Structure 1
Amino acid sequence: MAAGEAAARQGNAREVLVIGGNRYFGKRLIARLLAAGDRVTVLNRGSSAPPPGATHLIADRDDENALNSALGSRAFDVVVDQVCYTPRQAAIARRVFAGRTRRYVLTSTVEVYEYEDSVAFVREQDVDPLGVRVDLELPWHETEFLDSHYGEGKRQAEAVFAAEPAFPHVAVRVAHVLGGDDDFTGRLEHYASRIRAGEPITVPTANRPATYIHVEEIADFLFWTVGQDFTGPVNAASHGTLTTHELCEAVAAHVPTGRAVFQEVEVGEVSPLSFRRFYGMDNTRAVRLGFTFGNVRQWLRRAADETLGKGN
């Protein structure tokens, strides 16, 4: 029985705040929390309403006064922060939620390991947040800068929470996510369109594999994490790795008249989900804590079916 289900059946439903969570695995997490009987509050800028059964708060998380005003006197057992991208946002959250929550779950990313030039699976201790320098004066408010410093923004956000912990917190470092008919990234469709047209798929000359996780599996992982008490960074990735070629094999099943043509380049822009460095995460810590991951090769075809549509 999941932790949330047990709590609900015992009349001890948790108070959970989800910041963001409007799409993809965030909305799946909210559905799991509601199904377990938790009392769920969703905070966003008002771009979309949460599902029935959830309380909706509207505020810009970058505006500390507005955030405090929207929260009022509310307190939570757990906060799940799906949209903390910068150290500035983390610093605001640390101040606002001090005394308001007993546990904080930050959705982080495999991209925090972008500077780890390794051929081995990276472990949580390979990027210690306490060793990351925080610079609040960088132009984090500029979209172009933020987009090009996504991994660094997450690294520094983790560092803010770790340096002066105001509450127990965990940083879930999420592998590249695949699957679902609502995958907004367009990465698999990029391959499908190239294969359909017979256009080159640009990959590095040394094309390295990476770890991945299915959209339903990361929703399961976050739901499980809400009910745990461990802290610190934790890697969330399915067992096994995939290369760009293996991804394209799954995509090509949906384009029977097309052909995958690969063009290797030493420098320059490459296709999404193709890497010059190894992006493999060691998931041992999560497994030892009690989570059971699937194997990427067992769900890859299903993920392609979901995103590209069966029979297309």
Structure 2
Amino acid sequence: MATILVLGGTRFFGKKLVERLVADGHSVTIATRGETPHSFGDTVEQLCFDRLDEVAFAKAVEGRTWDIAYDNICYSPDEAQVVCRLLNGRIGKLVFTSTMATYAPSAGKKVEADFDPLQYELRMGTRDDFTYGEGKRQAEVVFYKEATFPVVAVRFPIVVGEDDYTERLLFHVQHVLQQKPMAFVNVDARMSYITSDEAAAFLQWAGEHAQAEPYNATANGDYTLAEFIALVEEATGKRAKIALGGDDTTRSPYAVGADWYMDNAKATAHGFTFSQLQDWLPTLLATLVEAEQQ
């Protein structure tokens, strides 16, 4: 049994991670602001504080140690530096939820070496000072340059599932069902995906087995956006209304200008078995369509 701290574990793949850890008999502590009720009952310990309040964070972890910590909600170098200050000497390993957005969209499949945090210039700041992708890049830089504990950065692509609170996948289903236009920049761009269940499974694996370095974590296979749109059309039984450019109401959350997909060969070689995208994305789309039509 391991002692495990999870920062951000009450929804989406963070919640599923906690469920997996508890089911495997680990002693789990979740750290949240306490604003959203959790469903774990007395199977976990809860620490309530705002991670942006360093004094409250320090008080909550004082005198505590954990074998593994997961940080699912770090979005800036300032936040990462606080984790380093407060958890150095208190944890045996950190798994940081990073993102495919550390890679800029461009032709070709991304491998981990395409972004090396040790070779990237550090700029400190809060989450308001950076785009999402740059904030995650800078957080990785801090963790790999300043942490005294081992760090595994897990770079996820678009995470999807019935429980996706962002509703990015649902956006496409709803727009086709309602015959609303959807705007894209490049329908030939390829993208990667992973389910929330598989994301949780990978995070657990990363904590238990991964070496202290970055890993891409994505389902096997990819689709161009044109192929993705065709899957939505098949699931809905309707033709999509596609536009180029668009505005905030019509632009697809997946409207990238170039390929944005990843290679998972490194994690595969190290022992994780990924799902096949074509085995579950059409089924997930059909499930979302059915829910919308009820």
What residue number does 2:18 align with? 30
C-alpha RMSD over aligned residues:
1.9
| Residues 163, 251 of structure 1: alpha-carbon distance in 2 compared, 3 angstrom cutoff | same
Show the counterpart of 1:87.
Answer: 77
Deviation at 1:310, TM superposition (A): 5.2
Q: Which one is further off, 273-282 or 75-84?
A: 273-282
C-alpha contact 2:102 2:115 (8 A) present in aligned 1: yes
1:260 to 240, 248, 258: 240
Query: Counterpart in 2 of 1:41?
Result: 29
SS across alignment from 2:223: coil
Report the AA paired with residue 39 of structure 1: S
Preserved contact between residue 173 and residue 234 of structure 1 (Cα < 8 Å)? yes
Does the 8 Å CA contact 1:214/1:303 hold for their aligned counterparts?
no
Aligned to 2:65: 75
Note if contact 2:4-2:69 (Cα within 8 Å) is conserved in structure 1: yes
Per the TM alignment, residue 247 of structure 1 is displaced from its structure 2 partner at its CA by: 2.7
Tell me which residue corresponds to 1:222.
203
- For the residue of structure 2 that corresponds to 1:73, the secondary structure is coil
Structure 2 CA distance for aligned equivalents of residues 58 and 223 of structure 1: 23
Residues of 2 paired with 1:225 and 1:259: CA distance? 41
Specify the SS of the correspondent of 1:41: strand
**Equivalent position SS for 1:279:** coil
Does residue 200 (structure 1) correspond to residue 181 (structure 2)? The answer is: yes
CA–CA separation in structure 1 for the residues paired with 2:3 and 2:67: 5
TM-score, reference length from structure 2: 0.92
183, 206, 212: which one pairs with 2:193?
A: 212
Alignment of 1:153-232 (within 5 A): 153-180=135-162, 182-205=163-186, 207-232=188-213
Alpha-carbon distance in 2 for matches of 1:307, 1:198: 16
8 Å CA contact retained: 1:49, 1:56: no
Q: Deviations over 1:212-265 (max 9, x none)?
A: 111111111111111114111100011111222333333334533x42121234
Q: Residues 75 and 127 of structure 2 are in contact (CA less than 8 Å); yes or no, is this contact kept in structure 1? A: no
1:54 — aligned with what? Answer: 44
Matching residue's letter, 1:191: H
1:150 matched to 2:160 = no
Paired positions, count: 289
User: What is the percentage of aligned positions where both structures have the same residue?
Assistant: 34
2:95 alignment partner, one of 105, 108, 114? 105
- The Cα of 1:311 is off from its aligned counterpart by 7.9
Q: Which runs of 4+ in 1 moved over 6 A?
A: none
State yes or no: 1:283 paired with 2:264: yes
Moved more, 216-225 or 300-309: 300-309
Give 1:198 deviation, angstroms: 2.2
Structure 2 letter corresponding to 1:262: I
Question: Where do 5+ consecutive residues of structure 2 fail to align?
Answer: none
2:218 and 2:254 mapped to 1: Cα distance? 15
Does the 8 A contact of 2:67 with 2:93 survive in 1? Answer: yes
